[in-house]
Structure 1
Amino acid sequence: MHVIEIFESIQGETTHAGRPCVFVRFAGCNLRCRYCDTSYAFQGGTRMERAQILATLGRFKSRFVTLTGGEPLLQKELPALCSDLLAAGWEVSVETHGQLDAAAIPPGVHRIFDLKTPGSGAEDHSFVNLRSVRPEDELKVVVTSEADFGWAVEVVRRFELEGRLPIV
């Protein structure tokens, strides 16, 4: 797995905002959103085995981890890492742009889908995960204009997401 950084901080987004959290930021992303604040994670990273990641996480006080990027679903071993973390007693969230199928992420993991609006500049607006959301999932939407807001409301209605998961 290609890791850019592992650090402890306060979760600043989603329904977990304000919680101490360890972040594992993976390298690689197949999108180039206009407002991306982690473009340094597009390439590179340090190759780490799952056991190395678990050992590094064990040094931190928090037992809540967010796997992010870049795009973490580009890491083929991500589902196995999630299972390892759950088995070790971690609370796990995965922040993904949602354009890639997240079905392999095990139950019990908080999947946070960052829905890309037209204002993001993302050309593909795949909804591959919206039909199979789970109660522990969340939908995150960065709205950059009134048009984005209207688009997001329409997507929520089309997939009947209101009340099925938190939308932040």
Structure 2
Amino acid sequence: MRLIELYKSVQGESSFTGVPCIFVRFAGCNLRCSWCDSTYTFQGGKPFTEDEVVAQIEALQPCPLIEFTGGEPMLHERELLPLMQRLLRDESRRYTLMMETSGERPLGEVPTEVHKIVDVKCPGSGSAFGSFRMSNLDALTSRDEVKFVLRDRRDYEFARDFIREHLQGKVAEGTLGGILLSPAFHQSPSPLRTADNMELDARDLVSWMLEDGLPARLSLQIHKFVWEPQKKGV
């Protein structure tokens, strides 16, 4: 498997926001979202064996929360799934595993114990729009969350309609853990740690959420307020 970086920080989004976390960032992505903040993952990286990844994770303990991200981690499915199973079997560490994925790759083989954060790409994502694999809805569990990154009102309306048609019932039944609405950040943000770096004003987004009564969570990527928005490895 090829990794870009492996480091310890705090979770910046999802229901684990603010919790210390080890990030295992894979190289490579088959999508090109217009607002992507991880373009440095598209190429490069270093090869790691499963044993080497586990050793680095153990060296960063204590920190039982681990997220696999990218790039797109599911491009490394052949190596990733056995690694997940190995970590889940470690009863002495009792790891909690997360994975951030685009939802373009099949997710049915991912262990159900893993908390999946699955993106549904909105129109503003550009060429990635429409890439979500609808059959992945059947792979979602009460541990999982679906995320929408929003650039404008059009993106919000797409997310709202998708939620109402495909996700609202799952939240009500308790078969989906949650829904995240996240304003996109400018690709060339200022070094200031302010909300001005977001393309969509969070006040507008909150107003729309309240007006429509969506069963969703506002997600602001807190790591981009704790550190400078362009800083990597945090």
Task: Please classify the TM superposition score into its range, dividing by the shorter chain length.
Answer: over 0.9
Shift of 1:107: 1.3
Shift of 1:123: 3.8
Contact 1:64 1:92 in 2 (8 A): yes
Contact 1:131 1:159 in 2 (8 A): no
| Higher mean C-alpha displacement, 7-16 vs 126-135 | 126-135
Residue type of the partner of 1:80?
A: P
The yes-or-no answer on 1:144 pairing with 2:151 is yes
Q: Scaled by the length of structure 2, what TM-score is found?
A: 0.69
Corresponding residue number in structure 2 for 1:52: 52
Residues 129-167 of structure 1 deviation map (CA, whole Å, 9 limit, x = unaligned): 123311101111111111111111111122134513300
The yes-or-no answer on 1:69 pairing with 2:75 is no
Shift of 1:78: 1.3
Task: State the alpha-carbon separation in 2 of the partners of residues 139 and 73 from structure 1.
Answer: 16
The yes-or-no answer on 1:129 pairing with 2:165 is no
Task: State the alpha-carbon separation in 2 of the partners of residues 132 and 20 from structure 1.
Answer: 27
The yes-or-no answer on 1:166 pairing with 2:173 is no
SS in 2 for 1:159: helix
Structure 1 residue runs of 5 or longer lacking an equivalent are none
Instruction: Give runs of ≥4 in structure 1 deviating > 6 Å.
Output: none
Task: State the alpha-carbon separation in 2 of the partners of residues 83 and 161 from structure 1.
Answer: 31
Task: State the alpha-carbon separation in 2 of the partners of residues 139 and 160 from structure 1.
Answer: 9
Q: 1:91 is matched with which residue: 96, 119, 127?
A: 96
Residue type of the partner of 1:115?
A: V
Residue type of the partner of 1:91?
A: T
Structure 2 residue runs of 5 or longer lacking an equivalent are 181-234
Corresponding residue number in structure 2 for 1:101: 106
Task: State the alpha-carbon separation in 2 of the partners of residues 18 and 160 from structure 1.
Answer: 25
Percent of aligned pairs sharing the same letter: 38
| Higher mean C-alpha displacement, 33-42 vs 157-166 | 157-166
Corresponding residue number in structure 2 for 1:11: 11
Question: Over alpha carbons, which structure has the higher Rg?
Answer: 2
Residues 35-66 of structure 1 deviation map (CA, whole Å, 9 limit, x = unaligned): 11110101111111111101110011211100
Contact 1:100 1:128 in 2 (8 A): no
Contact 1:96 1:114 in 2 (8 A): yes
